[in-house]
Each structure stands twice: as structure tokens, then as C-alpha cells.
Amino acid sequence: MEKIFGTDGVRGVVGEKITKEFVYNLAKSVGIFLNKKSGKKVLIAHDTRVSAKMIEEEASKALNQCGIDVVLGGIMPTPAVHYLAKKHDFDLAIMITASHNPAEYNGLKLITKDGLKFSTKQEDEITEIYHNISKYSLKEKSGQTISDESLKEEWANCLEEIINDDFKGLKIALDCANGASFELAEKIFKKLGAEVVVICNKNDGNLINKDCGSTHLEKISKTAKQDGCDLGFAFDGDADRVNAVFGDGKIISGEELLFLGCMALYEQNQLKNNKIITPYVTNCGVDKSLEKYSISVVRCDVGGKNIQEKLIEQNISFGAEDNGHIVWGDYNKCSDGILTALFLTKLYKQKDFKEICKNLKLFEQVKLNVNVSEKQKEKFLNGALNKDLEELNKSLKKDERIIVRASGTEPLFRVVVEGTDLKTLNAIAQKVEKLIKDL
């Protein structure tokens, strides 16, 4: 059975994978899934992409025809949708976004009534319905669609209450990626008293993530330095991710961001069980550095869904990837870019970031993104490189490791080679790259 879902919902190029027919049938499958569980109400929101309206219309139409009522929340960040799904007892929520991808992409993230990402099991159930859609009939009574764009203000107010601090005297630079945070991020920081310099905050879906946001830090770096800011934050298209810079424009690495976020809770005695969760790809120097604070690291597979599962399973309050996805588990079980920026700003008032980061000792890493065809990807997933990688791994020294994984959202392999000697790591990385290209 052909897969529909990737590591974080459904995503693809509009007009290719993401067509009207595909969206309608997927939403109809979601509606049938809800009918089986007596679900009656769905929240739909989106980022600024131009294609969002088409997807919203097709999804609403299909859900209504399944007897499901739909509330359109307008433009808001993904974490807001997670929060509102739980708060207002929606049976399910849909966030229309392709996150950090360019404007020609779009997708759908499915969120449960408890504000959680859909599990693999739930996605598989919807996939099964999708591939057998002709077997199902529609409800005789249609649902209704209404708009309520005031809902996002509830989430903004919630963040202000969580932080409960005064940022007066601080100057913060924000890059909103012309995406879902274009309005709320600036508003929240200003309400907390900060002086804000904001860039890339247009409600223009053609410009979302275009040379800006969390994957293009040169703009926020330049702005923070030129305008004399204390810190700078850059969000991705749906604001579930943030990356940051110091006031002098120096980029705060993903591992440093993780470390600072962990310290933000540690300093307030809010780090449950003195544990954090991070995927296996995160630099192992994080583990060694946190030993000083008696903080242990729980590893999981890549992806917010896996962090979410571990947070719940082990009652942990903090989880993070090294790319700016940070989960504050006591408040929301998904990563939240704006909440991360707020927590770090609060910590900045109390502690010297650069002094904290001196306690983080990382191993050297070489990272590669290797573009591949679907055929190469399939060969890899079927174990074609297992023997070669096993032989390479046998030759590694202490504290060296190789990670090769297929991206769940793009046609490429992500390679990480970690250790202590950069020259050696580069040589190993070149061998791995050749193995992949020769598939």
C-alpha cells in the first residue's frame, strides 16, 4: 500500500502531489475516520501560502459532506492549532502548511483532539481508507463551515501568561519568514515590553521562507547586529521552529539552542525527572555536557512525533531537535518557535548566554545532504548499503559514529559523521557520499 504520510504529515509540490483531487479524497478519508469515532467538529488553519485557500476549500467541502462541522481559524502558527484543538474540544484539527519548504510546496498536518500529532497507527488507518475510498458512502446530512479568526488570540494570551515577565529594556529582532508568525510574534513581544525590530513579516505566500526565516539566518544576523539588538530569532513558515543569533550577529547553533532551552527550565526547577529527549542524530557532546548538571538524555528516532511519544511515556518536560524544533512539554506537546523565543529571552535577562554556552562541549561533525532519486531511496530503505556501512563502522575509533538517514520531507539523504578529528571525518563523509551516489 502506497504511503501518504511522511515524518510530519503530508507534504508535496502543489499541482503535482498536492492537487484538488488528492486533498478532497484525503479530507474525505479523515471525515470517514472521524465518523467511525463519532467525531463532529474540525478546526482548519493555515500559514500564508497562496495555495492554502484551495486546500482549505477542498478539505472543508469533503468534511462537510461527511457530516463534519468545520471552523476556519485563518492564519496561525502550528502550535496554536495544537493548543486550540485541545482547549475547544475539536475532534481533530488540520494545519495547512509545508513548514520550512518553499512557496510551491504545501501540505497538511493532522492533530488529535488532545492536541497531539497523529500517531503512525492513526495515519495508517486513514491511508487504508484513502486507498479504498470508493467503498464508503457520504452522510445524508452535511456539516457546516464557519470562520473564527479570533481563536489565535487565545493562544497568544496563553503564551504571555506562561512567560509572565517584563521584557522592558530589551531589543529583540524577529524574522517571521513571511509566514504564520507574521503578525503574532511581534505583537506578543511588544505586549511583554520588548522593543522589536521585525523583518520578513508580510502576509505574502509567494515570499514564505524565500531567503529568510530559520533556514536563512544571514538576514536576522545582519539585522540584530546593525540595530543593536540583544537577541534575534528567525521562525520557519509555520512557526513551530526557531533559530537564533546573539546581538553581535553570531549564529546560535542548534545544539546551543537546545542547551539554552534545557537550562531555561533547569534554572527554574521545571525540568521533570532531570531528563531531556533528543533524537539520535543530535551531537553526543550534549549528553556529556549535561552530565555536569546530573541531567540525563533520552534518545529517540528523528521527528516531532517520536519526541512527543517519549515525553508522554517518560513524563519529561523538555524535548528538542538540533534544528530549532523545541518542545515545552508542560505547555504543549509540539515544538513551538514563539514560545522558545520567549523562554530564551526570559533566560537572557537572568544569565549570560555566552557563559552558559561555554559549558557545552561538542564533538566535531561533518553534515551532508545528498540528493537522491526515488529508486536510490528505495534501495537504501531495502538495506542496499547495510553491509558497506557496517564495514565502515567497524573501522571507527572511540567517539566516532556515522548516521545516514533518508529525509521524510525531501528527496535526499542526510549524512552525519561525528568524532574528534575533522580531517578524518571529512574523509569518512566522502566515502559515505560515494556509496550513496553509486546506489
Distance CA 107, CA 99 (A): 8
Contact 184, 338 (CB under 8 A): yes
Sheet holding 275-279, edge to edge: 296-300, 275-279, 318-320, 326-328
Q: Phi-psi region for residue 115, left (φ > 0), alpha (ψ -120 to 50) or beta?
A: left
In a shared domain, residues 353 and 239: yes
Cell numbers describing residue 310: 517519549
240-246: average pLDDT: 97
* pLDDT tens, position by position, 335-366: 999 999 999 999 999 999 999 999 999 999 99
Please indicate, yes or no, whether residues 288 and 424 belong to a single structural domain of this protein.
no
pLDDT of residue 1: 80
CA distances to 27, 70, 97, 185, 289 from 110, in Å: 10, 14, 11, 23, 36
pLDDT score recorded for residue 174: 98
Of residues 108 and 3, which shows the higher confidence score? 108
List the one residue out of 155, 117, 135, 60 whose CA is nearest residue 312: 117
Q: Is residue 72 part of a domain?
A: yes
Residue 76 pLDDT grade (very low, low, confident, very high; cuts 50, 70, 90): very high
**pLDDT-based confidence at residue 37 (cuts at 50, 70, 90):** confident
Final residue of a structural domain among 149, 173, 193: 149
**Once rounded to an integer, what is the mean pLDDT over residues 72-99?**
98
- Answer yes or no: do 24 and 95 share one domain: yes
Q: Please indicate, yes or no, if residue 2 is contained in any of the structural domains.
A: no
Q: 357, 385, 411 — which closes off a domain? A: 357
Question: Do both 99 and 42 map to the same domain?
Answer: yes
- Here the cell at position 103 is 512557496
Total count of domains within the chain: 3
> Does this model's pTM top 0.85?
yes
pLDDT greater than 90 at residue 137: no
pLDDT of amino acid 140: 78
Alpha helices in 315-421 (DSSP H): 337-350, 353-357, 374-381, 386-394
CATH number of the domain within which 24 lies: 3.40.120.10
Same structural domain for residues 118 and 100?
A: yes
- Pair (19, 121) in one structural domain: yes
Active site residues: 99
- How many other CB atoms are found less than 10 A from the CB of residue 303? 18
Confidence band, pLDDT 50/70/90 cuts, at residue 39: confident
Of the candidates 243, 267, 352, 356, which has an alpha carbon nearest to the alpha carbon of residue 318?
Answer: 267
Whether 172 and 250 map to the same domain: the answer is: yes
The boundaries of the domain holding residue 86 are 10-149
Q: Domain boundary residue among 295, 328, 357? A: 357
